[in-house]
Amino acid sequence: MSSPTESNNFFNEFLDDYFAECEEHLAVVRRELLALESCMNQPQIEGSILNELFRSFHSIKGLSAMVGVREAEKLAHQMESYLRSLRDGQISLKPEGFDALMSGTQILERAIGAYRTKEDPPDIDEIISQLEACNPPVVAKTPTAAITPFEVKLKPEEKKRLEALVSEGKQIWHFVFTPSTELSKQGIGVNAIREQLQAIGELIYVSPRLNANQKILFDFILATQEAENHDLGSELKYLTGEPYQIPSPVSEANSGSSNLKVEPPREPEAPATAEAPGEVEAIGTVVNRTESERKESEERTETAPAPAEVLETSEAETSNNISPAKSTSPLISGSNLVRVDLPKLDELMRMVGELVITRARLEENLKNLPPSFPAARRRTLQEINLTLERQLRDLRQGVMQVRLVPIAEIFARMQFVVRDLMRLTGKQVALEISGAETEIDKFVVERMMDPLLHLVRNAVSHGIELTEERLKAGKSAMGAIALRASTAGEMVIIEIEDDGQGVDIYRVLKRAKQQGLLSDSVSETNDPDNYDSQTILDLLCSSGFSTKEEADLASGRGVGMAIVKNTVQELGGCVKFTTKKGKGSHFIIDLPLTLAITDALIVEVSGQTFAIPESSIQEVLSVEHKGIIRLEDQEIISYRGHVFPLRYLARLFNCVVTTDESEKLTIVVIGNSVNSTGLVVNRILGLREIVVRPLTDPFLQSPGIAGATELGDGRVVLILDVSTLISSKIPKIIKPQQFINSG
Amino acid sequence: MNKSADTSQPFILFELDHTTYGIPSDMVQQMEMVEQITPVPNSPSFVVGVVFSRGQVIPAIDLRVRFGFGKIAYTLRSRLIVINTNERTVGLIVDTAREFVSIPAQTIQPSPEGISSLSGKYLAGIATLGERVILILNVSELLVLPELVSERSP
């Protein structure tokens, strides 16, 4: 059939799918546990929650059994039993039970992770006893002896080949191999067996399946020269096997046992647990299984004695009966979902981005057609261009939608983190979550997981005070941390707010001076009010900055905040921060909903081209110099009743200011109705759709620059970071710039 | 590949101020002419700006500035060497670059204690190929971020 490397790849892909599937089920578990916690105190727990949890653990159990991750299998089995009892109303959910579910989920996650990283699995005995304690004693049911036979389902080509071989006088055998840990320790695995078999004949068919006891085995159909071996059973002593007869077409509909003899290996130990028909999970590889499943449920035979030895460690199966739940087959989803690799989606996005640039170039060229070009034709072309723009926009929307996932993924994990920390620190914290259904780009979710975890840990470790302190301060004993997510136009806003002790600005300043992060000339006064929260945030985020409190185990060593800021910036977003000593801290993270494409105003400043995101622009003005009012060291302008300060981009960016006193000033007003700034530029070049590319390299972190784009000529154009430019004070860490007026 | 003492590693050689430097070729993504660099305001002095390379926006570093030599105008022979290391992709601007050599490991000596100059700390070693002296670059040292405070504009 296939070479050893191909089957290796097959198994590795098998494993990748295993980890991916388990992660999906665990994500469901976390989400449902979140919901469960909130309705724990109600008399009636919603049945769907318990059912979802039960099904997820059931699936994880089956998957882990297939692959051989014993700890995960056992633990998932215990969780599943507990949930069945809850679901069937046999017991009610108590706080200890919920705790056990939470811990169990974490340990389960670790057990699966340990298999992946080839580390020792965590100890599960304690959690198993915890769960057993929550579950009522189970009545052992006497197992029936029903072991249904298994019919190998061959593809038409395989059958043809077999028939051809038979007519050539070859012998056909059906072997069954049951892998076990003992055997694999001796180096005897499915690949070794396959090689052995290939050495003596032609392998027509190989496939894994689950037997009645949820154990994985492999079926081999082999063709050999008749003369060679007459007693294969003893040569290949780890297999059970026997002659195989190709089923004739008629008999497939209704095979009697005369056609096929199949030997599931007998368990050397305790009797098999009873399985009601129709329960065996499908193994979704190679051949479709549904028909064999159906057949298994229809037929029954007694077990024939296994001819050869089968070495196998059996596990002490609990005698809990597994009720016929509707479990989805692991590797082939029964539902309408498709699992897609994120890189494929990234590639799609990239291709859409290129289309956008190309269309923009088309538009430019259309605009530059000579006037002699026939007007009707020009109109047609322009109309086509507009249609193209609309269609591209729809395509872009579509691809974006595909990438969106609810932020609940991240929020659900926070529960666990908070609980752990509560135990570690002895503090009492209530986590309040809202907007979990807010959808954000999957890529953003992946990147923001760690920063958000860090902020939440920070809030618990440094924000919320110990209970006695809180009571002394007149606060409630239970600290509160709020996690909120919402969308506002093209942005997603994530907030983390705590009612703890806030950040001690004085300490931060002191520490910053100690570490040399504030040069002396800048810190004229020690007055904390001189520094706005944004500056403090910048200080906290400088890599290497840490007050004594930062460097404790719960939060890490002064690296965390820097990563938060960098990640958010890389994603094209920004972090805002307010804190009040004694009252608490509030982090607001703005992230763009669309990573890639936006409309921007292209401007020229002192010979350089820049892009300003259109969504932040209020309007564009042309103003005489005499309309400018000087106020101390600021220039402001009054327009239509609003007053706002002017910012010379040239100055900010260390370019020479080339505006002329005699000319009018071109001003781009950015911000919102509350907070505006007028940016002085030389010229407006136009409005363009641009593809935003992040500036990820640490060398390129420049305040006021949010990213880069390309307008079709291969040259990089920088995109301005409007939020930095709006803030009323330029952070004092940056030295004031010199400027030269020409003209 | 055996790991004995006489393995040779392939290097890309470039010149700065008539001195030859070497970079392991497995780090080099591509080499390009120097053109269209967009300056980034408030970036370190040795970061001339950014360029596009394979769909990514990367910084272009003037190695002369980084090493403390005087900056010169770019010529047709100047090259941008795009290197890839540790998840960072960066472009290095050099005077010329066009050689590939295999340097046997035993010809590389650690750089002597006496070299304390700025460019000295960016050396991983010195190789002698016959009469030629090639300075082997310590790329990770090159890419270390300057401290906020110690960064002074020239």
Class in CATH terms, A405-592: alpha beta
Minimal CA–CA distance to A57: which of A103, A20, A88, A25? Answer: A25
pLDDT at A388: 93
For A494-550, give the DSSP string.
EEEEE-S----HHHHHHHHHHTT-S-TTT-----GGGS-HHHHHHHHHSTT---TTT
pLDDT of residue A324: 33
Structure tokens at A249: 């077409």
From chain A, pick out residues whose CB is under 8 angstroms from the CB of B47: 699-700
Please report, for chain A, the start and end positions of each structural domain, with discontinuous segments joined by +: 4-134, 156-298, 342-402, 405-592, 597-726
What mean pLDDT comes out for the span A103-115? 89
- Which residues are paired to A242 by β-bridges? A174
Which value does ipTM take for this structure?
0.85
Over 70: is that where the pLDDT of A269 sits? no
Q: Which two tokens stand for residue A214?
A: 């949820």
pLDDT band of A564, cuts 50, 70, 90: confident
Distance from CA of A59 to the nearest CA of B (A): 37
Question: How far, in Å, CA of A614 to CA of A484, rounded?
Answer: 26
Residue A451, pLDDT > 50, answer: yes
Residue A669's pLDDT band (cuts 50, 70, 90): confident
Q: Is A99 exposed, middle or buried (0-12, 13-18, 19+ CB in 10 A)?
A: middle
| pLDDT higher than threshold 90 for residue A263 | no
Q: Which of A283-297, A464-478, B73-87 has the lowest mean pLDDT?
A: A283-297
DSSP A624-653: -GGGEEEETTEEEEEETTEEEEEEEHHHHT
Res. A541: pLDDT tops 60? yes
Q: Give the model confidence (pLDDT) of A336-352 as tens digits.
A: 777 788 778 878 877 88
Residue type, A88: D
- The size of chain A, in residues, is 743
Nearest CA in chain B to A694: B57
Contact B42 A702 (CB under 8 A): yes
As a whole-number percent, the residues of chain A with pLDDT over 90 amount to: 6
> What is the model's pLDDT at position A139?
52
b/e for A20-45, b at 16 or more Cβ within 10 A? ebbebbbbbbbbbbbbbeeeeeeeeb
User: Residue B27 contacts by C-beta under 8 Å, 6 or more apart in sequence?
Assistant: B83, B84, B85, B139
**Residue A443 contacts residue A403 (beta carbons within 8 Å):** yes
Look at A185-199, A371-385, A476-490, A702-716 and tell me which has the smallest mean pLDDT.
A185-199
Q: Given pLDDT bands bounded at 50, 70 and 90, which one contains residue A407? A: confident
Contacts of A53 (CB under 8 A, 6+ apart): A29, A32, A33, A36, A79, A83, A101
Which one, of A303, A290, A226, lies nearest residue A261 by Cα?
Answer: A303
Q: What average pLDDT does range A373-394 have in this prediction?
A: 91
Confidence of residue B1 (pLDDT cuts 50, 70, 90): very low
Give the residue from B95, B105, B96, B90 showing the smallest Cα distance to B136.
B105
More confident residue, B149 or A181: A181
CA contacts within 13 A on the Cβ side of B43: 23
pLDDT of A526 higher than 60: no
Whether A555 and A561 have beta carbons less than 8 Å apart is answered as no
- Assess whether pLDDT exceeds 50 at residue A202: yes
Q: Distance from B37 to chain A by nearest Cα, in Å?
A: 7
- Single-letter residue type at A326: K
Q: Which of A195-199, A367-371, A540-544 has the highest average model confidence (pLDDT)? A: A367-371
pLDDT, residue A380, reads 93
- Residues of chain A contacting B57 with CB distance shorter than 8 Å: 693-695, 700, 707-708, 716
Query: Which tops the pLDDT comparison, A296 or B23?
Result: B23
Q: How far is CA A588 from the centre of its chain?
A: 22
Q: Nearest Cα to B45, choosing from B30, B28, B62, B20?
A: B62
The topology (CATH level 3) of A4-134 is Four Helix Bundle (Hemerythrin (Met), subunit A) (1.20.120)
Is there a contact between B58 and A697 if contact means CB atoms under 8 Å apart?
Answer: yes
Q: Which residues contact A690 (CB under 8 A, 6 or more apart)?
A: A356, A360, A597, A598, A599, A600, A611, A709, A711, A717, A719
Mean residue pLDDT of chain B comes to 81
Q: Is the pLDDT of residue A392 over 50?
A: yes
pLDDT for B73 equals 87
Distance CA B151, CA B154 (A): 9
| pLDDT band with cut points at 50, 70 and 90 for residue A547 | low
Sequence letter at residue A500: G
pLDDT value, residue A530? 52
d(CA B38, nearest CA chain A) in Å: 6
Q: What is the predicted pLDDT for the residue at A206?
A: 81
Q: Which of A411-415, A613-617, A677-681, B116-120 has the lowest mean pLDDT?
A: B116-120
User: Which residue bears the tokens 């994985």?
Assistant: A216
Q: How far is the CA of A36 from the CAs of A32, A131, A155, A441, in angstroms?
A: 6, 17, 46, 26
Confidence of residue A319 (pLDDT cuts 50, 70, 90): very low
**pLDDT the model gives residue A213:** 65
Query: Which domains can be identified in chain B, with CATH numbers?
Result: 8-142 (2.40.50.180)
Q: Which pLDDT score is estimated for B83?
A: 92
Residue A296 has pLDDT above 80, yes or no: no
Query: Is a pLDDT exceeding 60 seen at residue A258?
Result: no
Report the alpha-carbon distance of residue B91 to residue B57 in Å, rounded: 10
Least confident of A13-22, A654-663, B101-110: A654-663
CA distance B79 to chain A (A): 17
B92: distance to nearest CA of chain A, Å? Answer: 13
Average pLDDT, chain A: 72
Q: Is the pLDDT of residue A662 over 80?
A: no
d(Cα B62, Cα B94) in Å, to the nearest integer? 7
pLDDT given at position A90: 76
Cα separation, A561 vs A728, whole angstroms: 23
Which stretch of A2-11, A702-711, B56-65, B72-81 has the lowest confidence by average pLDDT? A2-11
Give the E-state strand segments of A355-427 in sequence order. 404-406
Q: Which of A516, A519, A702 is facing B40, going by the closest CB pair? A: A702
Q: Which chain A residues contact residue B42 at CB under 8 A? A: 653-654, 702-704, 734
The verdict on a CB contact (< 8 Å) between B41 and A655 is: yes
Judging contacts by C-beta atoms under 8 Å, the chain B residues touching residue A702 are 40-43
Q: Cβ separation of B148 and A733 shorter than 8 Å?
A: yes
Name the CA radius of gyration of chain B, rounded.
16
pLDDT over 90 at B80, yes or no = yes
Query: pLDDT tens digits, residue range B20-54?
Result: 999 998 888 888 888 889 998 888 889 999 998 76
| pLDDT(A493) > 60 | yes
- A215-246 burial, b if ≥16 CB within 10 A, otherwise e? bbbbbbbbbbeeeebeebbeebebbbbbebeb
In tens, the pLDDT along A148-168 reads 455 666 777 777 787 888 787
Nearest CA in chain A to B58: A697
pLDDT at A594 over 80: no
Which residue bears the tokens 């690296």? A559
Please name the residues in contact with A275: beta carbons below 8 A apart, sequence gap of 6 or more: A146, A212, A322
State the Cα–Cα distance between residues A80 and A161, nearest whole angstrom: 44
Task: Mention every residue, 6+ apart, whose C-beta is less than 8 A from residue B150.
Answer: none
A717 and B38 within 8 Å at the Cβ level: the answer is yes
Q: Out of A109-118, A305-314, A668-677, pick the least confident.
A: A305-314
Are A466 and A426 in contact by the 8 Å Cβ rule? The answer is: yes
Q: Which tops the pLDDT comparison, A223 or A251?
A: A223
The mean pLDDT of A248-261, rounded to a whole number, is 37
Task: Output the pLDDT for position A603.
Answer: 93
Helix residue ranges per DSSP H, chain B: 63-67, 139-142
pLDDT exceeds cutoff 50 at A632: yes
DSSP annotation of A43 reads S
What pairs with residue B59 in β-bridges?
B50
Q: Do A697 and B43 touch (CB under 8 A)?
A: no
Least confident of A2-16, A225-239, A436-450, A560-574: A225-239
Task: Kindly indicate whether the domain formed by A597-726 is annotated with CATH number 2.40.50.180.
Answer: yes
* Residue contact B41–A702, C-beta within 8 A: yes
**Rounded mean pLDDT, A500-527:** 65
Percentage of the residues of chain A whose pLDDT score is greater than 70 = 69
- Provide CB contacts within 8 A for A693, sequence distance 6+: A707, A708, A709, A710, B55, B56, B57
A728-743 tens-digit pLDDT: 444 332 333 322 222 2
Could you count the other beta carbons within 10 Å of the beta carbon of residue A536?
20
* Cα A28–Cα A29–Cα A30 angle in degrees, nearest 5: 95
| Range from A75-84, A308-317, A677-686, B137-146 carrying the lowest mean pLDDT | A308-317
